Every structure is written in C-alpha cells, then in structure tokens.
Amino acid sequence: MQNEAPAIHLVTSTGSAEFAHLTYALTHSSVIGLDAEWKPHHSLSAFPTVSLLQVACQLIDSRELPVFLVDLQSIRLTEAYDVLREMFVCPSVIKLGFRFKQDLVYLSSTFCEGGCGPGFDRVEPFIDIAAIYNILQPRRIPKQSCKGLATICKEVLGIFLAKELQCSDWSQRPLTEEQKIYAAEDARCLVEIFNVLHQKVVREGIPSLSQKKDQHSEVDTGLKHVLEHPNGCSTVMRATFCEPANMVHKAVVEPKNGSEIVDGVESMKPCDTSMQVDSYLLWIIRKHGDKLFLGDADRRPKSFKMKAKKPSGSAGKAPENLDDWQGPALWDSVSGGDGCPKFLCDVMVEGLAKHLRCVGIDSAIPVSTKPDARDLIEQARKEKRVILTRDLKLLKYGYLIGNQIYRIKSLLKNDQLVEVMETFKLKISEDQLMSRCSKCNGRFIQKALTSEEAVEAAKGLQVIPKCLFNRNLEFWQCEDCHQIYWEGTQYQNAVQKFIDVCKLNVM
Ligand SMILES: [Zn+2]
C-alpha cells in the first residue's frame, strides 16, 4: 500500500506538470473547495496580498480529491487567471468556502495588482459551509450557529482541524510541511463536509426521486474514515459521488427495479470528460446555491473612503510605556480614528470588556462565540480596535504590531481595568461612568425615561420591578439591545465601585 497521505500538489509555475494537473482538475470537478492564505499587513490603504490559494477538487471521473496549493507568489498570475476565473463562474461546478467573501476581495485585489484586471467579481454557484452546517443541523437556530470552521468540522466530520498555523507567515518560502498540510486540510474539509450533505440528500431523496431512496445504507461508513484513510474509502466516495449519477442512468434503463441499482455501482465506469453533474448535485445547486458578488465598494480598502479627513499631526501620540508600542495609534485621526481608543476583548478577558463599558469605554467582544485568531484579528482591524488578550499564542506569531494588540498582565478584573487605564493613559470622568450598556457595548438613548415610559419600552423584553415606581428614578435605554437601566441601589454601588477602582477625584 502506498502512502496514505492525501494528494497535495504545490503549483509554483504555469509550465509545470502540477499546473497541467490543476487545469485538468478545475475543468473536471463537480465540487471545489476554496481557501486562501495571506500575510497580514498593517496598511489601511491596501488589501493584503494573497500568498496561497488552496483548491480542493472533487473529480468527476474518479473518486480522488486532490488539493492544489497554488503559490501566488511564484506563479505568473496572468497565466493562471483565466482558468481560475472560468472555474469561479462555471455553472456546473459548486464552489465551497467558509466566509470566502473576504478571501475573494483579497484574491481579486492580488490578481488586479498582478495585471489581471478586473480581478474576480463573481463566484457562482457558491455554498458557504456555514449554510451547509445549518442544513445538516436543522435543530439549531441558524442565527446562533456563528461557528468557526474547526467547530463545524468537528461536529460534522468528527475530525480535529488544527488552527495553530492560521497565523503563521504565509509569505515565507519554502512553506513548511506543516503549513502545506494545514492549508490543504482547510480546503479539503470543505468538500468533505459538502459530501456529508450530498449523502444526506442521496439518502433522503429529492421529491421526484424519493421512491428510490432506500438503497444507501452503506453510505454511512463515515467521513472520518475517509479523511484518515483516503485510499481506503471506495465505498463512501463511490456511494456519495458516482452512485447518484449511475442511479439516474439506471432508472432510465431499468425503471421498474430499484434493487439492482447498488450492484450497478460496480459497473460504474468513469464519466466522460464532458461535464456531468448528477441530479442530486443539480438539486443542491438549485436549492442551496448562492452567489458571491463583489461590488465597487468591496474592491476598495476601507480607509480610501475616509481619506478626506485631515491629518491632525498628532501621530505617534500613543503611550510610551507599552512593551513594544509602535506607530500611530489606531484611534488617532491619522489612522481614521476619533481620538478615543476602542478595544476588542478576547474571550479570556470578556469580564474586562464589561468593566471598560462601565467606565464608558467602547469595548467589544468577539462576534463569534468561538472565534479563531483570524476572525478576531479581522474584527479588530475592521472596527479599528486594539485587541486585549491574555492569549500568548495571538502575540507569538507577530501577526499584529505592538499597538494593535496588548497582553493583559493582571488577573483580576479590577486590576485589569486599572492596567488598561494606565497603559493607554485613559482619562475617565465621572459622567462617563455607566454611560454605555454593559451588556452589549451600545450607547444609551440620549433622553432619560420616566418609569411609565420605561415600562412601555421594556414590554416583552424586560420586567421593570413595580417597587421602582413613584420613586422619581431616571431610566436609560440602550440604543442597541434595548436593555433598560435605572439609577437604583445597584447602580449607585457600581458607580461608587468604579470611582474607587479608577481613583476618580469626585468633588
Ligand atoms: Zn445594550
């Protein structure tokens, strides 16, 4: 038995055998998983340059799933452009990605800069793997399942997708073996997850074919097995991929006897090189296929839209006592900020986020409940926030320069708050206390509410205790989550606590 590792082809030039193989695969696949890696940079006026494009191809004429790592740093982009562009819009090839739009923005910009205008503006049919996850896990509420790819992979395939290399330097050459395997896995697992959906459709049938649905008990061999033994999975791959096409064929030839269909798999011969998509795939495309489209606004880095702002000349005003503080602060108007630092507290210091909000400082938490490093960094970059973390891993890769990330040293929330205030030289005034929703970081609606107004506003959301009425209290409502706060005892205690913690001098 030969090496069981999945086929990973590094494509470094258009003249290579690997490129010929890639070109063949791009035009002879029904499902293609896409991912990209780039070295982050710190310019606000340009997108990062994509270093590597990973393409996992589910071939039509065999059960192979080769992965191509297209080295965009060495390949001639102008020569690779057309074949990629055609694949992106080929109607019979399902493209899979995980939050791929950003990858596409960067990819398009990279090709544009490499002389391939207008880059890429469309990928269709496209299916986001998060959407597939929602189809496969219908009991969950879609809105809540804002999960990372690793989590989806674990739940659907039962395999562990290591994410440690996500923030490694993708521009260094040669890539390490670990980087290659990591990069390939990220694209390949997309197709594997899709195959689970495909199996489900085959198993449950689509309305017009549902009478032939009980032939596929052997399909459940498990994708885990496939991934661990890519050469030992003929049953699964044949069942998931070739059988439906064969079934349709068989159904036409022998419409009255469904039980021979499974036997028919054995006689399944490789498809012609002409594109041939089985009816299950067509149905999936029709039902779940989507389209990624880049408009003009997507093609410009954010800062271009606000470059009219005049420079204030206060660059480099950032605190001096940070471990390795460099460059103008994110909140400086030079960088497009409004003069007030904003923070993004990672999951290890979420309590600190609430404390910061209580003293009026804009502090977000990760959008995703299980963010991976890239999500966190992209959120920080997009919202121009400084990441506060206790996670050494985030710092280790040098992904962000000093003034975009800060490692909290204190363990207790109060101490952490003081540490941040001292480090970033934040001046807190008393009227900033409790000026922000501690639940969601939102601002309060400008005008205070009376108890009657508060009860009305809280309807269906929150119960305002009756004991608060007739006490002439002021109520405040969060603009974003509509939570209502009032100046009760808890409020007074909290204010006093933060006055103490922040050592505010109150007259
Ligand atoms: Zn709120």
Distance 445 CA to ligand 1 centre (A): 10
Superfamily of domain 9-192+278-296: Ribonuclease H-like superfamily/Ribonuclease H (3.30.420.10)
Q: How confident is the model over 399-445, as pLDDT tens digits? A: 565 568 888 999 999 999 999 988 888 888 887 888 889 999 998 88
Q: Residue 272: pLDDT band by 50, 70, 90 thresholds?
A: very low
Distance 354 CA to ligand 1 centre (A): 11
pLDDT of residue 5: 55
In CATH, what number does 309-427 get? Answer: 3.40.50
- 499 Cα to the center of ligand 1, angstroms: 22
Mean pLDDT over each residue of the chain, to the nearest integer: 76
Centre of ligand 1 to C-alpha 369, Å, is 17
What's residue 371's pLDDT? Answer: 79
The residue ranking higher by pLDDT, 239 or 404, is 404
- Calculate how far, in angstroms, residue 443's C-alpha sits from the geometric centre of ligand 1: 7
- How many angstroms does the Cα of residue 373 sit away from the middle of ligand 1? 26
478 C-alpha to ligand 1 centroid (Å): 5
Answer whether residue 94 shows pLDDT above 80.
yes
Q: Where in the chain is the domain with CATH 3.30.420.10?
A: 9-192+278-296
Whether pTM > 0.85 for this model: the answer is no
Residue 245 predicted with pLDDT over 70: no
Question: What is the Å distance from ligand 1's center to 409 Cα?
Answer: 28
416 CA distance to ligand 1 middle (Å): 22
Q: Which range has highest mean pLDDT (116-130, 301-315, 383-397)?
A: 116-130
For residue 9, how far is its CA from the centre of ligand 1 (angstroms)? 49
Taking the centre of ligand 1 as the mean of its atom positions, its distance from the CA of residue 374, in whole angstroms, is 26
The CATH 3.40.50 portion of the chain extends over 309-427
| Pair of tokens at residue 384 | 């121009």
Distance 143 CA to ligand 1 centre (A): 18
CA of 444 to the centre of ligand 1 (A): 8
DSSP for 296-325? GGGGS-GGGGGTTSPP-S-TT-S-S-STT-
Is residue 205 left, alpha or beta, with left meaning phi > 0 and alpha meaning psi from -120 to 50?
Answer: left
Residue 272: burial class (beta carbons within 10 Å; 0-12, 13-18, 19+): exposed
CA of 456 to the centre of ligand 1 (A): 17
Q: Which two tokens stand for residue 227?
A: 């991934």
pLDDT band, very low/low/confident/very high, at 398 (cuts 50, 70, 90)? low
- Residue 404: DSSP 8-state: G
- Ligand 1: distance of its center to the CA of 437 in Å? 5
Tens digits of per-residue pLDDT, 213-226? 444 433 433 444 43
Going by C-alpha positions, the residue among 216, 277, 248 that lies closest to residue 32 is: 277
Which residues make Cβ contacts (< 8 Å) with residue 93, sequence separation at least 6? Answer: 29, 30, 31, 32, 87, 125, 275
Q: 243 C-alpha to center of ligand 1: Å?
A: 52
Ligand 1 mean position to 357 CA, how many Å? 10
Read off the pLDDT of residues 350-382 as tens digits, 9 standing for 90 and up.
899 999 999 999 999 998 877 788 888 888 888
Tell me which of 40-54, 91-105, 476-490 is least confident. Answer: 40-54
Ligand 1 mean position, distance from CA 360 (Å): 13
Q: How far is the CA of 414 from the centre of ligand 1 (A)?
A: 22
Query: Is 442 in contact with 479 (CB distance < 8 Å)?
Result: yes
Q: How far is the CA of 488 from the centre of ligand 1 (A)?
A: 18
**Percent of the chain residues topping a pLDDT of 70:** 72
Choose among 39, 116, 35, 31: nearest CA to 81.
116
Ligand 1 centroid distance, CA of 457 (Å): 14
- Given this model, what pLDDT does residue 433 score? 86
Question: What separation in Å is there between the alpha carbon of 442 and the centre of ligand 1?
Answer: 5
Q: Residues 278-293: pLDDT tens digits?
A: 788 888 888 888 899 8
